[in-house]
Amino acid sequence: FFAPGLITGSLCWLALACVATFVQNMLFVKETPKITLAESRQLGQIVVWMSMTCMWLFWAFVYMHQLVPLIYPVHTPVLE
């Protein structure tokens, strides 16, 4: 589970999640009559981190599946 590509990709996803959290806090936090500023910030952070976690898991599953394929390709000899 400690393949270099998996670690590097996971760190990239973590950096992307931090950037998305910053963007969410700067641009999408808004107070309305039905939701306070703190609730808006908390809801945005939950949405950002849950979506990033799901996307990272999907990426990690696909990456690990390519590391250890279940079906190996069958090579046929080239006929001349």
Per-residue pLDDT at 73:
77
* Average pLDDT score over the chain: 92
Q: Band of the pLDDT at 1, cuts 50, 70, 90?
A: low
Answer for the pair 63, 5: CB distance below 8 angstroms, yes or no: yes
Q: Name residues whose C-beta falls within 8 Å of residue 41's C-beta, 6 or more positions apart in sequence.
A: 25, 29
Q: Note the pTM of the prediction, 2 decimals.
A: 0.80
Give residue 55's Cα distance to chain centre. Answer: 4
Beta bridge partners of 32: 35
The burial class, CB within 10 Å (0-12 / 13-18 / 19+), for 48 is buried
The residue ranking higher by pLDDT, 74 or 53, is: 53
**pLDDT of res. 17:** 97
